[in-house]
Structure 1
Amino acid sequence: MINGEKNVEQPIRWAMVGGGRGSQIGYIHRSAALRDHNFELVAGAFDINPERGKDFGVNLHVDPERCYPDYKTMFKEEAKREDGIQAVSVATPNGTHYEITKAALNAGLHVVCEKPLCFTTEEALELQVLAKAKNLVVGVTYGYAGHQMIDQARRMIENGDLGEIRIVKMQFAHGFHSAAVEENSESTKWRVDPKVAGPSYVLGDVGTHPLYISEVMLPNLKIKKLMCSRQSFVKSRAPLEDNAFTIMEYDNGAVGYVWSSCVNAGSMHGQTIRVIGSKASIEWWDEHPNQLRYEVQGQPAQILDRGMDYLYPQALTDDRIGGGHPEGLFEAWSNLYTRFAKAMVAADRGEMLDASWYPGIEAGVEGVRWVENCVRSADNGAVWVEYQ
């Protein structure tokens, strides 16, 4: 159980690029990073508008002299300080992730980056090589993976509780963009602009979340080929999709399916993952993240609850309060930031922790690769393509 005792000897000196006033995800980054005293926010380039960014940083109790107009200035000036930053989180629009992450790695900084890591597999692999050469950690914020019942699912599958895995059914299908909300929302507008968002909208924005959860639950399952069909129901979003269906075949004969959508009218998140085996199935729903549904063929369905002694020990490691008390997304992100911090400290000692323990550079590369293959399939007429 996590009880607030230190995980690192000294908090990691940390900065943010983006995540300023009006950001959808800036606050959860800060809340997660600061909660367990693993990081200390000492600097930032919080906004594309320097004055607005400085005002915001001062309101976060950051020294005004360390509220910088842009990330390049921040990396340069912080490198001159004995107490300069050691890590940075990138919470900016998609089109900037590659250049900022590359610059941070070249500056000798660990990175936590929003997904997608970049636009192409080639760029992602370049960042992976650079991070490895410099022995630096790149974490990717697949925040839902920090929920404890994801680890319970992994252990059940690993232990053979489900039998042979046959089907993996995934979806993240919300309805908040079922109309052209981007016309009045700057935070949505860039998400449907190919120059800023990249080659996809919902595939990269929401589809990669359950995909990564499936990779955590089933680390040995590899995609062999896939077929993707994507649509732009709000026509002004074309060529980017607001709905997509992806069917996958895995190397062990299992099949998978991902529904990625923002036009599922009436749905909140609609993010679920169901893993079906020869003996039993499990299902996790992010709107009820403290429960895991366990269905054994021929027996009544069971609801497993977070924090209970009948779970596998690994699923209890990140509990912050006893069973029955609901934990949510902020706790899940905090769990990931704790893992990021431990990985960064280990890397500074010359060690690299198990990459499957947290969403690292490998997860970032795989997310970009999956989107690239989906787009290739869809744009060639929704044909089957070998996974490259």
Structure 2
Amino acid sequence: MYYGEKKIENPIRWAMVGGGKGSQIGYIHRSAALRDFNFALVAGAFDIDPERGKAFGKELHVAKDRCYPDYKTMFAEEAKREDGIQAVSVATPNGTHFEITKAALLAGLHVVCEKPLCFTTEEAEELEALAEKQNKVVGVTYGYAGHQMIQEARKLIEKGMLGKIRIVNMQFSHGFHNVAVEKNTASTKWRVDPKVAGPSYVLGDVGTHPLYLSEVMLPDMKIRRLMCSRQSFVESRAPLEDNAMTIMEYDNGAVGYVWSSCVNCGSMHGQKVRVIGEKASLEWWDERPNQLTYEVQGEPVRVLERGMDYLDDSSCTEDRIGAGHPEGLFEAWSNLYSRFAQAMDAADKGKKADFWYPDVHAGAEGVRWVENCVRSADHGAAWVDYR
């Protein structure tokens, strides 16, 4: 159980690029980062409109002279200060992630970046190498990974409770974009523009979330090859897809399936991960994140509840309130930001974090997966070797 005790000696001086007024994800970043006093928001370039960004920064109690017109100015000016920023979160449209993250690393800053980290494997590998060279942490906001029952699934699999893994069935298939909502919604419009969103829509926007959860649960399984079929049911979105099915083969003989969609009419979120072994299966559904279903063949279904004594100790360390009280997305993000802070603090002391979190390598893997899915789909749903 976590009671709010400090995880690091001093809060990390932190800034944001993007995440201004009207940005839902910006509010989630701030709520998560500031909740446990691991970060202190001291600067920002919050908006593409400098005056609007400054006005919003004032509402966030950021000093006027530390509300900057753009990230380049912020990095340069903050570097001159003894109390300058140590880390930055990037909450801007996809097409800017690579250049801002690279600039932040070159400026000697830790980074928390929205996914996708970038658009190509080459760019991802460049960021991986740069982060290592600079000894800086790059965290990627696969926010659902902060739910504690993901750790419990990892431990059950690690303990062999499922036996040899055979199938991993994943989906993130909501229905909110079943029509061309982007015509009237700016926050969706850029997501279907290849120049801003990159080579995919739902594969990168939602599909990489359950994929990362599966990687946390099954850290030793690697994709050998995959095939992907993608569609643009709202024709104006072409060439970007609003629905995709991906089949994967793993190096241990298991198979995986990912359904990525925003046209699953009636579905609120539809994000589920089901891992099927030779002895048992487990399933996690993000609309009921405090539960994990554990099913042994021939026995009654077990529903494991967050915060209970029968869970592995490591699955309870980030509980913020007793069992029975529902925790949600804000708690999950707070858990990840706490991990980011501890990893940054360790790096500044010349150490490595001894726990998992969505790091630059996880971000690069998401980019690699999308790239391979697009390559397969654009060649008639052909099988492609994973690289």
* Bin for the TM-score computed over the shorter chain: over 0.9
Q: Offset at 1:88?
A: 0.1
> What SS does structure 1 have at the residue aligned with 2:270?
coil
C-alpha deviation, 1:266, in angstroms: 0.6
Tell me how far apart the structure 1 counterparts of residues 307 and 17 of structure 2 sit (CA, whole Å): 35
Secondary structure, in 3 states, of the residue corresponding to 2:65?
helix
Cα distance in structure 2, aligned partners of 1:14 and 1:268: 33
Structure 2: distance between partners of 1:172 and 1:347: 34
- The 3-state SS of whatever aligns with 2:24 is coil
Q: Distance in 1 between matches of 2:129 and 2:242?
A: 33
AA at the equivalent of 1:291: Q
How far off its partner does 1:353 sit?
A: 1.4
1:103 is aligned to 103
What TM-score comes out, normalization by structure 2 length? 1.00
> Matches of 1:24 and 1:368 in 2, distance apart?
23
Superposition deviation, residue 315 in structure 1: 0.4
SS in 2 for 1:25: helix
Q: Distance in 1 between matches of 2:339 and 2:99?
A: 24
Deviations 1:309-367 (A, max 9, x none): 0001110111001100000000000000000000000000111214x610000100000
User: What is the deviation of 1:24?
Assistant: 2.4
What is the CA–CA distance in structure 1 between the aligned matches of 2:187 and 2:279, rounded to whole Å? 45
SS of the residue corresponding to residue 124 of structure 2 reads helix
Partner of 1:202: 202
2:237 maps to 1:237: yes
Q: Residue 284 of structure 1: SS of its match in structure 2?
A: strand
Q: Secondary structure at the match of 1:337?
A: helix
Aligned partner letter, 2:79: A
Structure 2 counterparts to residues 86-101 of structure 1, below 5 A: 86-101=86-101
Distance, in Å, in 1 between the alignment partners of 2:24 and 2:95 is 17
SS of the residue corresponding to residue 233 of structure 2 reads coil
* Secondary structure in 2 matching 1:41: strand
Question: Where does 1:123-272 land on structure 2 (aligned, <5 Å)?
Answer: 123-272=123-272
Give the Cα–Cα distance (whole angstroms) in 2 for the partners of residues 3 and 55 of structure 1. Answer: 34
In 2, the alpha carbon distance for the partners of 1:240 and 1:32 equals: 31
* 1:47 paired residue number: 47
Q: 1:52-106: CA deviations, max 9, x gaps?
A: 0000000000001000000000000000000000000000000000000000000
Output the CA distance in 1 between the equivalents of 2:3 and 2:49.
39
Q: How many residues align?
A: 387
Q: Hey, which bits of structure 1, 4+ residues long, moved more than 6 A?
A: none
TM-align CA RMSD: 0.5
Residue identity opposite 1:380 in structure 2: H
Q: Which amino acid aligns with 1:339?
A: R
Question: Does the Cα contact within 8 Å between 1:118 and 1:124 map onto a contact in 2?
Answer: yes
Partners of 2:184 and 2:22 in 1: CA distance: 14
What residue number does 1:384 align with?
A: 383
Structure 2 unaligned blocks of 5 or more = none
Q: Which amino acid aligns with 1:273?
A: V
CA–CA separation in structure 2 for the residues paired with 1:255 and 1:41: 44
Q: Which amino acid aligns with 1:77?
A: E
Q: Distance in 1 between matches of 2:22 and 2:350?
A: 38
User: Residue type of the partner of 1:183?
Assistant: K
- Counterpart of 1:371 in structure 2 is 370
Report the Cα distance in structure 2 between the residues aligned to 1:143 and 1:287, rounded to whole angstroms.
14
Give the Cα separation in 2 of the matches to 1:266 and 1:24.
22
Q: Distance in 2 between matches of 1:75 and 1:43?
A: 10
Following the alignment from structure 2 to structure 1, what is the Cα–Cα distance between the partners of residues 32 and 340? 11
Tell me by how many angstroms 1:375 deviates.
0.2
CA distance in 2, matches of 1:39, 1:24: 19
Q: Distance in 2 between matches of 1:170 and 1:315?
A: 22
Query: Residue 254 of structure 1: CA displacement?
Result: 0.2
Q: Identify the residue that residue 11 of structure 1 maps to in structure 2.
A: 11
TM-superposition CA deviations, 1:123-160 (whole Å, max 9, x none): 00000000000100000000000000000000000000
Q: Supply the AA of the counterpart residue of 2:146.
A: G
Name the amino acid aligned to 2:343: A
Structure 1, residues 152-198: CA drift from partner, whole Å, max 9, x if none?
Answer: 00000000001110000000000000000000000000000000000
Q: Is the 8 A contact 1:48 1:69 kept in 2?
A: yes
1:17-66 deviations in whole A, cap 9, x for unaligned?
00001112000000000000000000000000000000000000000100
Give the conservation status (yes or no) of the 8 Å contact 1:24–1:187: no
Mapped to 2, the partners of 1:278 and 1:320 lie a distance apart of 34
Cα pair 1:17 1:88 within 8 Å, conserved: yes
* SS class of match (1:248): strand
Q: Is the CA contact 1:124–1:368 (under 8 Å) kept in the aligned structure 2? A: yes
Task: Specify the SS of the correspondent of 1:189.
Answer: helix
Task: Name the TM-score, length of structure 1 as normaliser.
Answer: 0.99
Q: Alignment partner of 1:99: what SS?
A: helix
1:130 counterpart SS class: helix
Instruction: Report the equivalent of 1:345.
Output: 345
SS in 2 for 1:272: strand
Cα distance in 2 for residues equivalent to 1:149 and 1:24: 25
The separation in 1 between residues aligned to 2:135 and 2:75, in whole angstroms, is 18
Superposition pairs for residues 322-341 of structure 1, below 5 Å? Answer: 322-341=322-341
